Structure 1
Amino acid sequence: MFSQLVEFIRAKYETKEFIPLHAPVFNGREEEYVVDTIRSTFVSSVGAYVDRFESDMAKYTGAEKATAVVNGTAALHTALILAGVQQNDLVLTQSLTFVATCNAIRYCGAEPVFLDVDLDTMGLSPLATSQWLADNAHLDSDGTCRLKGSHQAIRACLPMHTFGHPVKLDELIEVCKQWNIHLIEDAAESLGSLYKSKHTGTFGLLGTLSFNGNKVMTTGGGGMVLSNAELGFKAKHLTTTAKRAHPYEFFHDEVAFNYRMPNLNAALGCAQLEMLNTFVQAKRKLAQQYKSFLQHSELKFFQEPNDCKSNYWLNAVICEDRAQRDALLKATNECGVMTRPIWTLMNKLPMYQTCRSDGLNNANWLEARVVNLPSSVIQELA
């Protein structure tokens, strides 16, 4: 079966050379825009392409405001600060995620609480979140959600849309409303994904995107904070060293961050965004071809959840057990076809082993079985 899968993937990408997991595609106006930026000399954090990229991304996602930053981690850090996350607060999130999600929580001096995921989304489970809060939290007299005993504030809930598949947002929103917790979406992997016809990253108080080189579209390095207009204004101020506007004076009114995206990266982003619908269309077609090829195999292809339109950033299969997972990884990588396991659970990493968590039954089950397959855009499928 594994050799047949390798042959199938090689036929799709029409090469006998090494096949990466996800490579960028530059077939639009990228070179034109980047050269234009170089010639303008505005290659740093001030320039027309930064403003354009923010405006275009807000329009694409339906957010009131989009604020461009240097990477997705900076976007997460900024969003958490804007949501009021402080030293010793708790933030509910999933253990099955990329490390940037919980690193950003730590940057605020807060502590992640790792809760289980749903098997049909691989994202934070509303049921697990609700159950943990019922067992461990209470609302104080001013309506702040606090941990029983220590009275630490539980300030935010940070789900991640795993591999571009949206979590159960309606249910999670209700849980957050019940407990007065801010919802912040880590939509780093889900640009182009819709939940009930609305773009991910626009349901919570804030959302974040990533444009790393391995994402659906890239700016080389970059990220975005999605928000309402008021928080968007604050996000821009906070990520530009809190400098007050003035023709020549330098005055900064709070401790802030130098997180603004350079104009050079934004130029690349503007060109990539023009191609994004084409990229997503091609990726969804590839996903359907994987699904058809694997339908009678021992490997279960992971499909988009109900009421969702996923970008299928990274296609995934679920193996029967860890032994089959390891055999698949070995066979494909030895043949020059890159596959990878899902992330090691965050609660198993040395710096997060002491954090609170629930049973994480589904997360542990998925960690032992999930493998990502090559998912780069095939232009002929667009």
Structure 2
Amino acid sequence: MFSTLIEFIRDHYRTQDFIPLHAPVFRGNEKNYVAETIDSTFVSSVGSFVDRFEHDMAAYTGSPRAVATVNGTAALHVALRLVGAERGDYILTQPLTFVATCNAIAYCGAMPIFIDVDRSTLSLSPKSLSAWLEENAYLDEHGCCRRLDNQGVIRACLPMHTFGHPADLNGLVHVCNDWGIALVEDAAESLGSTYQGQHTGTFGIIGVLSFNGNKVITTGGGGMVLADEKIASRAKHLTTTAKKPHTYEYVHDEVGYNYRLPNINAALGCAQLEQLDAFINEKRQLANEYARCLSGSELSFITEPAGCRSNYWLNAVICADRQQRDELLSVTNGKGVMTRPIWQLMNRLPMYANASTGELTNSLWLEERVVNLPSGIRLNGP
């Protein structure tokens, strides 16, 4: 079974060399646009490509506005600040995620509460979220959600769209509305993914994207805040060191962050965004081919949830058990085909080991079984 999978992957990528999990591909205007920024000397946080990248990304996602940042983690940090997260608050999130989700919570001095995921989405479960809140939270006289045990404020809910597959957004929106909790979407992995025809990252108060080197499109490093005009204006102010506009004076009216995306990175992003639809079509075709290759095997290929269109950022399979997972990882990597396990659950990491958790049955089950397969775009196209 593993040999058939390896042969398929090598045939797809047309090489006997090492195959990475997800490498960037530059086959458009990347060199031209980057050269343009160098010629202009505007390579830092001011320049036409930053404005263009924000405008084009807002148009692509259907967000009222987009604000570019140096990376997705910075965007998450600012997003949580913008919904009022502060020291001592609690943020509801999932344990099955990349560590950046939780690190952004920690940057605010807040603490995560880990809620289980659904197997159908790999993302935060509305049913588990509602159950935990019913048992552990209450709304005070001001409509603020608080913990029953210590009256701490539960400020926000931060689901992550795992591997580009959208979470159950209708369910999450409903629960968050009932409990007066701000919904912030970690859409770092799901650029180009839609839920019932609407782009991920546009259902909550704020959404966050990432353009790391291993994402569907890349700026080398970069992120984006998606929000309405009022919140986005605050985001831009905070990420530009909270500097008030002035012809020559340096006036900063609050603690801000040097989080703006450099123009040279934005140039790369503009060129990549021009190719995004083609990239996603190729990735979805690869997912279909994986599904056919694995049909009838012991490995279960993870497909997009009903009513969703996934970008299939990382293709993944569910193994029968931990032993099969470890064997698959050993054999593929030993043959020069890069595969990776899903992340270790966040509540197992030392800095989050004391965080509150709900029942994590699905998260534990998936942690033991999920393996990511090579998912990058072919250098020379279809």
Taking structure 1 as the reference length, what is the TM-score of the superposition? 0.99
1:231, 1:202 → 2: CA distance? 13
Aligned to 2:282: 282
Q: Residue 356 of structure 2: SS of its match in structure 1? A: coil
1:359, 1:326 → 2: CA distance? 25
Aligned to 2:311: 311
1:234 aligns with 2:234: yes
Partner amino acid, structure 1, of 2:362: N
Aligned to 2:72: 72
Structure 2: 5+ residue stretches without partners: none
Partner amino acid, structure 1, of 2:366: L
The alpha carbon displacement at 1:359 in A equals: 1.7
1:372, 1:329 → 2: CA distance? 9
2:93, 2:359 → 1: CA distance? 14
2:165, 2:349 → 1: CA distance? 24
1:51 aligns with 2:33: no
Aligned to 1:332: 332
Q: Alignment length, in residue pairs?
A: 382
Aligned to 1:187: 187
Aligned to 1:224: 224
Which ranges of 4 or more aligned residues in structure 1 deviate by more than 4 Å?
A: 379-382
Q: Residue 257 of structure 1: SS of its match in structure 2? A: coil
Alignment of 1:85-104 (within 5 A): 85-104=85-104
Q: Residue 357 of structure 2: SS of its match in structure 1? A: coil
1:78, 1:86 → 2: CA distance? 11
Aligned to 1:124: 124
2:106, 2:62 → 1: CA distance? 30
Alignment of 1:243-254 (within 5 A): 243-254=243-254
The alpha carbon displacement at 1:4 in A equals: 1.1
Residues 176-231 of structure 1 show CA distances to partners (whole Å, capped at 9, x for unaligned) of 00000000000000000000000000000000000000000000000000000000
The alpha carbon displacement at 1:381 in A equals: 6.0
1:345 aligns with 2:359: no
Structure 1: 5+ residue stretches without partners: none
1:167, 1:122 → 2: CA distance? 8
Partner amino acid, structure 2, of 1:210: S
Aligned to 1:378: 378
Q: Residue 244 of structure 2: SS of its match in structure 1? A: coil
CA RMSD of aligned residues (A): 0.7
* Percentage of identical aligned residues: 63
Aligned to 2:368: 368
The alpha carbon displacement at 1:378 in A equals: 2.6
Alignment of 1:290-309 (within 5 A): 290-309=290-309
2:94, 2:299 → 1: CA distance? 25
Partner amino acid, structure 1, of 2:353: Q
Aligned to 1:157: 157
The alpha carbon displacement at 1:149 in A equals: 2.4
The alpha carbon displacement at 1:353 in A equals: 0.5
The alpha carbon displacement at 1:380 in A equals: 6.4
Q: Residue 259 of structure 2: SS of its match in structure 1? A: coil
Residues 129-173 of structure 1 show CA distances to partners (whole Å, capped at 9, x for unaligned) of 000000000000000000002110000000000000000000110
Taking structure 2 as the reference length, what is the TM-score of the superposition? 0.99
Partner amino acid, structure 2, of 1:249: E
Aligned to 1:39: 39
Partner amino acid, structure 2, of 1:69: T
